[in-house]
Structure 1
């Protein structure tokens, strides 16, 4: 099926229009048009990326059920809505298994479409509830093996389970498919496909040392720094070891014009899997990789943060809590550096920078 460049919201609305987009995958009709009027969007999560979706759907007069563990997240959203009566807000702690299951069994049956903007570890539980109650399911996150296992079941029940429909991954896929379709329709062959994008503050608002502002799940930003990468370059599969994507040898720079200046970019996860998804497997494709743009200095900073073990998700031991009273104590403990006069020079050598104490 040809895929035109639709946004996440277009996909959701397409399911609910009186004459919606018809979704077909591998010859299976996933959504059949039905009359509009009583459709309900059940949204899990009301963090940084949820308000635009809530405002947009509310402006189109769709009913919404918003589930969040932090009700105060809605305080800044509700006053901006044109029809707040269409939005009902409910508290649920998805970390509480009993509470979350009760909520899923009560509210998923009421929905037409279920959207999860929670951290990825919650998607599978919600997706299984959508299978049980025959509901369509959307996320912005990378598809996981767990979600992929539900693919055949979802298709059998004519359900659309749509993942990777945010910015990256998401809009990059849609734009890529639009371009690939245009090339193929004109009789061309795609030999090289490079997709680079990134969510960055505008130059006039780039006013902090990181050159970055959090627009999504903060922990996800740090977790993303620990991935490796895999890409196809001149018919060769190339790997970047996990935790090494920010090494200088793997970081590229590109001049983006006078308004933006120079950006740096690094390889983004496993790009090779998209050769098949984009319909380019065995079609003469020699190069395929995806990358993420950042302002200069981001990669060096993230490498240092990783080297300092600040992205570790290990449980803090009672011994560490007892011994570490200062930042210096902490770094000495986790890095195994002696607490003596050599500490500054040892840490400087580790980070390959000069540290002034």
Structure 2
């Protein structure tokens, strides 16, 4: 199977390496940064393509011969990239932290016969799957609270935080209005609102606040 990863950043590069471990996949990664591509492909069987992932025509061209697309671009590129992939008639798994409503592309995806699995990062993504799994074990679930943090193994002042994905999107997460569900209704609150302290065993006391991490789980 031919798979292409769009974006060779902190996460996209790792996705490409993981896919390349499976000999059933022929892996290509596309990015505008030749240095990142050279570093990734130098000692692997991954193929690199320099491409402008903000250009719809370029995107459609490089995915034309691919069986599956993995979107790993910064959030500000995510929605237009996703739309281009759907227009090209390609199935996609996407991790981009985009502000737009991906469900607005649902009818286009149906028309093109495309499966688009979005919000597949850590949160949104893994957090949703964990909540869904636990919910399947329960007779009834009345509420769910998701706490997510980038806690490094070695904690250093002043932030004791690990940026493991797009730095721009880390900042975006802390300024974008947060959507959540209260009393069965979708509400919007400022980022960093409803500050609370959470005590975690073997870690200590941490601050927690609202960010826009529910996304597709809202619906």
Please indicate the TM-score interval, normalised by the length of the shorter structure.
0.7 to 0.9
1:268 to 2:217 alignment: no
Question: 1:53 Cα deviation (Å)?
Answer: 0.9
Q: Distance in 2 between matches of 1:152 and 1:236?
A: 26
Does 1:66 pair with 2:15?
A: no
List gaps (5 residues or longer) in structure 2: none
**Structure with greater proportional helix content:** 1
* Distance in structure 1 (CA, Å) of the matches to 2:62 and 2:103: 24
Q: Distance in 2 between matches of 1:197 and 1:80?
A: 34
Matches of 2:72 and 2:91, distance apart in 1: 14
Q: 1:208 to 1:75 in 2, by over 3 A?
A: farther
Deviations 1:180-238 (A, max 9, x none): 1221xxxx221121121222212xx11231111221111111121112334445x3869
Bigger Rg over Cα: 1
Give the 3-state SS of the residue equivalent to 2:47 in structure 1: strand
User: Residues 73-92 of structure 1, C-alpha deviation per residue, up to 9 Å, x if partnerless?
Assistant: 134433553xx2xx221112
Alignment counterpart, residue 215 of structure 1, candidates 147, 164, 171: 164
Aligned partner of 1:242 among 184, 190, 201:
190
Does the 8 Å CA contact 1:251/1:264 hold for their aligned counterparts? yes
- Alignment-derived partner of residue 173 in structure 1: 128
Question: In the TM superposition, what is the alpha-carbon distance from 1:124 to its structure 2 partner?
Answer: 3.1
Q: Which residue does 1:42 correspond to in 2? A: 4
Aligned residues: 218
2:47 maps to 1:91: no
Q: TM-score, normalised by structure 2?
A: 0.86
Change (3 A) 1:178 1:107: same
Relative to structure 1, the CA distance from residue 207 to residue 79 in structure 2 (aligned partners, 3 Å threshold; closer, same or farther) is: farther
1:1-357 superposed matches below 5 A: 39-61=1-23, 62-79=25-42, 81=44, 84=45, 87-95=46-54, 100-142=55-97, 145=100, 147-183=102-138, 188-202=139-153, 205-233=154-182, 235=183, 241-243=189-191, 245=192, 250-257=194-201, 259-269=202-212, 274=217, 277=219
The CA RMSD measured in Å over matched residues stands at 2.6
Asked if 1 retains the 8 angstrom alpha-carbon contact of 2:16 and 2:28, the reply is no
- The DSSP-based 3-state class of the residue aligned with 1:216 is coil
Structure 1 gaps, min length 5: 1-38, 278-357
Deviation at 1:145, TM superposition (A): 4.5
- Quote the offset at 1:117 in angstroms: 0.8
Measure how far apart 1:171 and its partner are. 0.5
Specify the SS of the correspondent of 1:197.
coil
CA distance in 1, matches of 2:214, 2:35: 38
**Contact 1:201–1:213, Cα closer than 8 Å, also in 2:** yes
